[in-house]
Structure 1
Amino acid sequence: MFPFSDADPIRHSNAVPKTSEVVIIGGGVIGVSTAIFLAARNIQVTLLEKGRVAAEQSSRNWGWIRKQGRDEDELPIVIEACRLWQQLAEECGEDIGLRQTGVTYLARSEKDMAGFADFMKIAAVHGIDTRLVDGAQVSTMIQGMARKFCGAMTTPSDMRAEPWRAVPALARLAAGRGVTIIESCAARTLDIAAGKIAGVWTERGKIETSNVLVAGGAWSSLFLRKHGVSIPQLSVRATVAATAPLPEFHAGAAVDDDIAFRRRHDGGYTVAPGGSNLLYVGPDAFRHARKYLPALMAHPFGTRYLPAAPSGFPDGWSTPRDWTPDTTSPFERMRVLNPAPGRSDLAAILRGFKNLFPQFENVRLETTWAGMIDAMPDAVPVVDRVEPIGGLFVATGMSGHGFGIGPGIGRIMSDLIQGNAIGHDLQRFRLSRFTDGSAIRMGPAI
């Protein structure tokens, strides 16, 4: 049943090994993808997941796999990720709902259309099939809309998949290739000796290793701060829903200011507010406030605020910031980060959908959920070694883009850990950009 919770059965219940060449902390799309590519090189990998594989944001996202609208520095990785999604879907032998049905951004005004021009230039450089269409073409592409749009930007080669199917299927592929996946087993602390990784202390004992990847999504910052590594990562809540099955009016994904929607494998549509997120203000929000000022100025109305997170959330006021290898960590106290969907957001989803498609006046939301998006001040991820701790790597802060880019980041992290050529320029994604005096350069909004 979706969304996943810690009440779901454990599907990966391996014993904790004494040693492992690489330990990955986090069983989302990034961690699982990295494990697959490491295993392909016959490298021994242990993947630790405190709750259930893909139970957090990797199964709760919109299910878009898009090149359109992405940050220019991310784009080469996304292009690779799209190719890898097709490859991995074939290799896992399961129907994960992967379809090449396109992504469309709807324009209400000529100003909106003019705003698409910047990405059209980027798309041309990278050979992407993005194009602009007029209002009449929009009405043909998406049938039955009550509102007339000025036009749209669309990328037919963009894809969709069902996250709650796709990432668990990739985990089964990884396990079949020899990856040791252990659910309901939190990594508590790192064992660091002489400035290098020596192991990972889990709630079931220590694993000796010399390489650790932290890919813990919304929990990454809390885990790394325990070891003196500061990442200005915050998490925002996004509410999503799935309609009951409906006649198909559009096979792909589309968004305007009020509503985002995409066709689902089960015949319904995944729907969400067009650009509304909620930030729970906690200690990290104050600690990193200055770094987030550019984002606030660029999108002043894109995020709402509440003064406190629910108990146990990564940036909750009462969440412990310090613990020892032999004491219960915050990661065990909350196996699955399962925020309640916002009532006002759900009302906005229904209102926006019915306003756009009044023929579905009686539509009902069959399933509703929310997820915590791990965000960075510039809306692009951190993908890097963690200096000065030898053997420590991080891939986090995907800023709402992690599902689509996941296999690309996984392949990169696999080669980064091995010391191989990366094939992409990772300068934009370095951790030190937040401490070396560099100006914050904003990517596209979450």
Structure 2
Amino acid sequence: MHFPISMAVPARFLAPLPAACDVVVIGGGVVGVMTAWFLAERGMRVTLCEKGRIAGEQSSRNWGWIRQQGRDAAELPIMVESLRLWQGLAQQFGDRLGFHQTGVMYLAGSEKAVEGYEAWLPHAQANGVDSRLMSRREVAARLKGAGPGWPGGLFTPSDARAEPWVAVPALVEGAIARGAVVIEDCAVRALDLKAGRVAGVVTEKGRIACDQVVLAGGAWSSLFTRAHGVDIPQLSVLASVAATEPMPEIYPGGAAADDFAFRQREDGGLSLAPGAEHDFFLGPDALRHATKYRKIFAKDRKSTHFRLAAPKGYPDGWLTPRRWDADRTSPFEAIRVLNPAPNMATIARTREAFAKAFPTLGRPKLRAVWAGMIDTMPDVVPVIDRAERVPGLTIATGMSGHGFGIGPGIGRVVADLVSGNAVGHDLSRFRLSRFTDGSEIILGPSL
């Protein structure tokens, strides 16, 4: 399989619903899968419930980058750990993951961008990351067939890539081998609360008794928590991606410029995407949280396309129910896998920008085009926290398009947070209360 996972793929993971366990993980993306992996490894009885398909949404629709470079300072230590975990996973699974440490490059569109890269470098040095600046000549030497134009860049040789649509389903096999129960086509409709704390979950297939729940529901997370009185200012943006036909290799890793980004694929083509361009659907939650997003909207106003409404049934759709009964069909069953239509005008601009940058190659021929819904936060860093209002609920969401690479590290952190072990990282940057305690919203880097 070389493209995002959809409902056309038959369900593979259909274990019987257990009556009880220690922890239920909601969501079968990379964060949910790796949380289940580490919980099971710690001897806890864990059940992962996925409403559609494992990695059906953004975990199979992303660029496939495993990137330390350009991370928020608080994310970077977890990402360094995550890279080590990816290395170990690649040893366990062999070539199945498509893991290669081929480096990541950022291509500077201006001298100001180079200055921004230089300002970020102390974070890399503090965490032992091998990032360094590149000159105009070094950039040209690394990119075969590139025309002139980039005054410099940022390069991290140890950064890596993998194939998302095969990697995450392989990782879930590892979680199952460690004792996790994984069930596709099993939406969790609601928490079952007793005296205000978690006593179980109600799924479309029945109830599971548990006293801990991890919500790793991606773009659906805020819809789920708001029904239980927990407000997450999470919104979704549409990101379009294309896969090219096989073509001459120009660079074996991943690279991003202002108007395009690419990653070498195992099949000889590229995953090709806009550098920063995305679509934003206006819905009830978007309007309610607009003030929290004013900084990011102001910063990205030239690259954001606002749409009047999300398609029917989407998390922030105007007609999507915000309340439902646990014994009836929920919004999570109405759309098993978010499969938004890509913005073909964006893809066309991306192809033209690529052709301009690599004139000897021209406009790449495309094998497939798709889109995904990125769950983002006002400061572009995730929420990793216990929900104060609902004891027993832990939230791991809002990866803001950076979740694939950091997923194993986040999974380890969340598993230890839930099981009461030492987390080993400062999580204060990721607390949910930062949006309500009067703290200034500080944007993560967008290098």
Q: How does 1:269-308 map to 2 (within 5 A)?
A: 269-308=270-309
Deviation of 1:148 (Å): 2.8
Q: Check conservation: 2:229, 2:389, Cα contact below 8 A.
A: no
Q: Check conservation: 1:92, 1:173, Cα contact below 8 A.
A: no
Q: What is the CA deviation profile of residues 129-176 of structure 1, one whole-angstrom value per residue up to 9, with x for unaligned ones?
A: 111111111111111012332111101110011111111110111112
Match status 1:373 vs 2:374: yes
Q: Check conservation: 2:104, 2:255, Cα contact below 8 A.
A: yes
Secondary structure at 2:97 match in 1: coil
Residue of structure 1 in register with 2:336 after alignment: 335
Residue of structure 2 in register with 1:107 after alignment: 108
Residue of structure 2 in register with 1:153 after alignment: 154
CA distance in 1: counterparts of 2:397 and 2:75, whole angstroms? 14
Q: Return the letter of the residue paired with 2:260.
A: I
CA distance in 1: counterparts of 2:436 and 2:12, whole angstroms? 41
CA distance in 1: counterparts of 2:100 and 2:164, whole angstroms? 13
Q: Check conservation: 1:278, 1:305, Cα contact below 8 A.
A: yes
Q: Return the letter of the residue paired with 2:49.
A: L
Secondary structure at 2:314 match in 1: coil
Match status 1:54 vs 2:50: no
Q: How does 1:148-297 map to 2 (within 5 A)?
A: 148-297=149-298
Q: How does 1:5-24 map to 2 (within 5 A)?
A: 5-24=6-25
Residue of structure 1 in register with 2:310 after alignment: 309
CA distance in 2: counterparts of 1:161 and 1:93, whole angstroms? 12
CA distance in 1: counterparts of 2:148 and 2:257, whole angstroms? 11
Q: Which stretch has the larger CA shift, 45-54 or 141-150?
A: 141-150
Q: Check conservation: 2:145, 2:361, Cα contact below 8 A.
A: no
Aligned CA RMSD, in angstroms, stands at 1.2
Deviation of 1:80 (Å): 0.4
Deviation of 1:94 (Å): 4.8
CA distance in 1: counterparts of 2:102 and 2:262, whole angstroms? 13
CA distance in 2: counterparts of 1:176 and 1:344, whole angstroms? 44
CA distance in 2: counterparts of 1:362 and 1:287, whole angstroms? 41
CA distance in 1: counterparts of 2:43 and 2:296, whole angstroms? 42
Q: What is the CA deviation profile of residues 69-120 of structure 1, one whole-angstrom value per residue up to 9, with x for unaligned ones?
A: 0000110000000001111222234521110011111113222211211111
In structure 2, stretches of 5+ residues that fail to align are none
Q: Which stretch has the larger CA shift, 100-109 or 86-95?
A: 86-95
Match status 1:392 vs 2:393: yes
Secondary structure at 1:133 match in 2: strand
Secondary structure at 1:360 match in 2: coil
Secondary structure at 1:19 match in 2: coil
Residue of structure 1 in register with 2:424 after alignment: 423
How many residues of Structure 1 are paired with residues of Structure 2 in the alignment?
446
CA distance in 2: counterparts of 1:135 and 1:162, whole angstroms? 30
CA distance in 2: counterparts of 1:280 and 1:362, whole angstroms? 29
Aligned-pair identity (%): 56
Q: What is the CA deviation profile of residues 192-229 of structure 1, one whole-angstrom value per residue up to 9, with x for unaligned ones?
A: 11121001000011000000000000000001111111
* Distance change (3 Å), C-alpha of 1:108 and 1:93: closer
Residue of structure 1 in register with 2:435 after alignment: 434
CA distance in 2: counterparts of 1:126 and 1:442, whole angstroms? 20
Q: Return the letter of the residue paired with 1:146.
A: G
CA distance in 2: counterparts of 1:77 and 1:57, whole angstroms? 20
* Distance change (3 Å), C-alpha of 1:130 and 1:262: same
CA distance in 1: counterparts of 2:218 and 2:73, whole angstroms? 22
Residue of structure 2 in register with 1:66 after alignment: 67
